[in-house]
Structure 1
Amino acid sequence: MFIEETISGIATAPGEGGIGIIRMSGSLATKIANQIFSGVKGKKAVDVASRQVAYGNIIEPDSKEIVDEVLLLIMRGPKSYTREDVVEIHCHGGPIPMKRILELSLQYGARMAEPGEFTKRAFLNGRLDLSQAEAVIDIIRAKTDASLRMALGHLKGNLSEKIREMRHGVLTMIAHLEAAIDFPEEDIEVMTAQEVKGSVETLLKEMQELLATKETGRILREGLETVIIGKPNVGKSSLLNALLKEKRAIVTDIPGTTRDSIEEFVNIRGIPLKIVDTAGIRETADLVERLGVEKAREFVATADLILLLLDASMELSTEDREVLTMLANKEAIVIVNKSDLPVKLEMDEVYTYVSNKKVLKVSVTEGIGLEDLEKSIVDLVYSGKVEQKEGAFVTNLRQSTLLEQAKEHLEASLLTIDQDMPSDCIVVDLRDAWDKLGEISGDTVGEDIIHEIFTQFCIGK
């Protein structure tokens, strides 16, 4: 696909750094670089071989003023990220040199790149499909090694290949049914309705297995929304510090030390936890603390996982009973803290509230039981299965919604077959499923969806 305009943008993060990169893509990229770059011994950009680096200066052509000392890298299409000519100018990472070089590239023929436009061109030019393009932003935003591994697998094509196989299976069924419709007199091998039914049922099983990864995929991509709750002085802040392995929250023996919520990302064996330490839940006359308690209740309502702390050295209190009742219909782990002290907590009563929840005995200050807590979190995320090191995951709402819709169309085709309806009716359902799968890969997606996806990217990517 030929795109006439040449785009330019700063590809490195805003602020100061050792290196800043201005990236151009398009048919004029090398020509623009040729006008503003002067290499050692007069070498020009057009003389630089593809995938080689040249040292020199960016020169303001009219005044001949040196803007910055740079390295120039040219990657000529189609062997580039966008399959177009791509030029990268590596300069010093201050905002002024980057801004001036960007302005020169715009002055001599480029236009400012839109967010995600480099990756969008890679998609439009056939280098990436849509699920691979989405993996690019997942790589940039990855919080843990597991998140990165999943995103890299998708960039490599793990999900794309799975969707492609499903589409091929549906298309094969369509082709056989249409051949029987169009050439009834010809001696063509066709699939009977029952054979199509068997193929659809097999495909539905594969879809369900892929859909089963959506919660794990979402968590690895976005993080597990986790809230620590309990009455004051039960060890919530100590637990946050222990998981972070640093003293992030203030810990004292004075109840009510934490009056507002503290949010941090914690890496638990590759799983990103977006963890919130909340104010202790209790009745209080202190306005600030009361607002913190109300906020804690709000976090409980929306969290993916609740870590409820109880104090093993104290009898169950009114506050404890209140927070225990908040766990109904919620994913939660009950942590009985201070288990190294003489036990006064009535565990039988605790189990009446949380008979279906995981209950762990720990001592946060002594580091006892924290490994069991980490393992419980991992088991929860992977549904007790062996962790998947790589493979296809459904990672966002767009993918899961389209896969669900494709599944519904396949289920409709089974109903059509069972009702002994004509083959062309079966084909309608199968083709709808094929189209929905194509939207995941981008083969049948509309321009509005493409625009929405790429606007999530930063400029320069």
Structure 2
Amino acid sequence: MNASDTIAAVATAVAPGQGGIAVVRVSGPAAEDVGQAVVHVPGQQDWQSHRVLYGHVLGADGQRRLDEVLLLLMRGPRSFTGEDVVEIHCHGGVIAVQQVLERVLAHPGVRRALPGEFSQRAVLNGRLDLTRAEAISQLVAARSRRAADLAIAGLDGGIQARITTLREQLLDQLTELEARVDFEEDLPPLDGDALLHDLQQVRQALLTLVADGERGETLRSGLRVALVGRPNVGKSSLLNRLSRRERAIVTELPGTTRDLLESEIVLEGVPITLLDTAGIRSTDDAVEQLGIARSEEALATADVVLLVLDGHAGWTAEDAALLARIPEHIPRILVANKADLPAGALPQPVDVQLSALEGTGEEDLVQALLERCGAAGTEGVLLALNERQRDLAATAAAALGRSQEVAAQQLPWDFWTIDLREAISALGEITGEELTEAVLDRVFSRFCIGK
């Protein structure tokens, strides 16, 4: 990346027939020149910062009108990136926005933006700290309101403020230690027990942030839940019940589901992808065999498996065989369906009794599902570090944990500073105060283009 380049990209979603408007964003030293060259603004409209201008994007011949647009000019540093920025608001869809982008990219010195490059420039120019930039990405990708709330908390500076506070506490301790290393004879004695206590309090706060982040990750990424069971035990009925719509065909014929059906739902703020699998059994039907093969794949990739039983028919050898097929490391919930009918023998303990037909037991199933995969109790999570941030917070906590061994061995103060510096550096990398170009590139490469 060259920060002196002028970059451009579509900053809104592009899909045929979708969206009334689209935005082409241009940022860099030539942004205003690009706007004036591409957009014909009639009359005496003033090219002033933070004003909206009306005009048309013209073709390369300067005559043919490609689209009717609004243009917003934002001169740096009062822009998202801190540079001169022009946003061309054109009609949505695919063709109009692509024609506008092509005209912009045809201007000398303009190149297509890389993923996350607008946000990266905002960080490099001091308009955003790194945690806020990452929160923007998480807000765009949010699949539930709770995930959006956590992203907004990060965007409002919650993560940055919390990490900065902890880092400043460590910096104060490091300053005291370094003063003792250089001028111990001239300063009053330092209470090692009090110092260790303070460091461990910071460590505990970091471990709490890591734990909350792991729970919050479920709200962001969601869960894949596979519905598995013999044919005609009610898997599709359960899918339809949880989805609140007729997503799967339900009949009394075994083997109705021949393929892997997916349904996106949100349960108590947690996005869940339900995978309704074909009933696993021996069959000569080639199409059904393909569906069963996909069911086996779903078993291996699911976060949790719901093994659905026919509670009226009772536990069978086929149920036992299916239970044995579920990989040991994947949580499973045994669900006895058809509770509206007389119960059969269930020697195998089940977790939930329900009726997919009437809805009884549905709340119990939801709670069991969230608890089994560690997604329960996310209401108390106010800040959620992402994976990168959690790794660095865990590194800082581990470094502070080593101070206990240093204290136990009664080593000199300069030994304390080694682990303290590592913890401070890791926390600085979370907020972007201590970052290399390679780390920045890696972080923003995961963003979508135009962000």
- What is the TM-score when the length of structure 1 is the normalising length? 0.90
Cα drift, residue 82 of structure 1 = 1.0
Whichever residue aligns with residue 418 of structure 1, its letter is A
- Once the two structures are overlaid, the 10-residue window that deviates more, 137-146 or 292-301, is 292-301
- What secondary structure does 1:431 align onto? helix
Whichever residue aligns with residue 416 of structure 2, its letter is I
Q: 1:391: which partner in 2? A: 382
- Once the two structures are overlaid, the 10-residue window that deviates more, 306-315 or 323-332, is 323-332
Q: Which deviations, in whole Å up to 9, do the C-alpha atoms of 1:245-266 show, x marking residues without a partner? A: 1111221211122233222321
Whichever residue aligns with residue 417 of structure 2, its letter is V
- What secondary structure does 2:79 align onto? coil
1:35·1:61 contact (CA, 8 Å) conserved in 2?
no
Q: 1:230: which partner in 2? A: 229
Q: 2:156: which partner in 1? A: 156
- What secondary structure does 1:363 align onto? coil
Q: 2:421: which partner in 1? A: 431
- What secondary structure does 1:350 align onto? coil
Q: 1:201: which partner in 2? A: 200
Within the candidate set 18, 25, 28, 1:26 is matched to: 28
Q: 1:13: which partner in 2? A: 13
1:179·1:190 contact (CA, 8 Å) conserved in 2?
no
Whichever residue aligns with residue 374 of structure 1, its letter is V
Change (3 A) 1:191 1:31: farther
2:231·2:278 contact (CA, 8 Å) conserved in 1?
yes
1:176·1:190 contact (CA, 8 Å) conserved in 2?
no
Counterpart Cα distance in 2 of 1:133 and 1:386: 23
Counterpart Cα distance in 1 of 2:189 and 2:220: 43
1:234·1:309 contact (CA, 8 Å) conserved in 2?
yes
Counterpart Cα distance in 2 of 1:168 and 1:314: 64
Q: 2:56: which partner in 1? A: 57
- What is the TM-score when the length of structure 2 is the normalising length? 0.92
Within the candidate set 346, 360, 363, 1:371 is matched to: 363
Counterpart Cα distance in 1 of 2:194 and 2:186: 20
Counterpart Cα distance in 1 of 2:206 and 2:132: 19
Backbone CA RMSD of aligned residues: 2.3
Whichever residue aligns with residue 428 of structure 1, its letter is I
Q: 2:171: which partner in 1? A: 171
2:213·2:383 contact (CA, 8 Å) conserved in 1?
no
Cα drift, residue 118 of structure 1 = 0.7
Cα drift, residue 288 of structure 1 = 4.1
Counterpart Cα distance in 2 of 1:74 and 1:364: 56
Counterpart Cα distance in 2 of 1:416 and 1:407: 15
Cα drift, residue 89 of structure 1 = 0.6
Change (3 A) 1:161 1:48: same
Cα drift, residue 289 of structure 1 = 3.2
Identity %: 39
Q: Which deviations, in whole Å up to 9, do the C-alpha atoms of 1:280-319 show, x marking residues without a partner? A: 2333344443443344334333322222211111121111
Whichever residue aligns with residue 38 of structure 1, its letter is H
Within the candidate set 446, 449, 455, 2:439 is matched to: 449
Q: Which deviations, in whole Å up to 9, do the C-alpha atoms of 1:62-112 show, x marking residues without a partner? A: 534333211111222222211222111111224333233223323334222
Q: 1:251: which partner in 2? A: 250
Counterpart Cα distance in 2 of 1:305 and 1:91: 45
Matching of residues 283-294 of structure 1 within 5 Å: 283-294=282-293
2:14·2:22 contact (CA, 8 Å) conserved in 1?
no
- Once the two structures are overlaid, the 10-residue window that deviates more, 47-56 or 450-459, is 47-56
Aligned residues: 446
Cα drift, residue 382 of structure 1 = 6.0
1:279·1:289 contact (CA, 8 Å) conserved in 2?
yes
- What secondary structure does 2:400 align onto? helix
Q: 1:414: which partner in 2? A: 404
Counterpart Cα distance in 2 of 1:383 and 1:31: 51
- What secondary structure does 1:412 align onto? helix
Gaps of 5+ in 1: none
1:23·1:86 contact (CA, 8 Å) conserved in 2?
yes
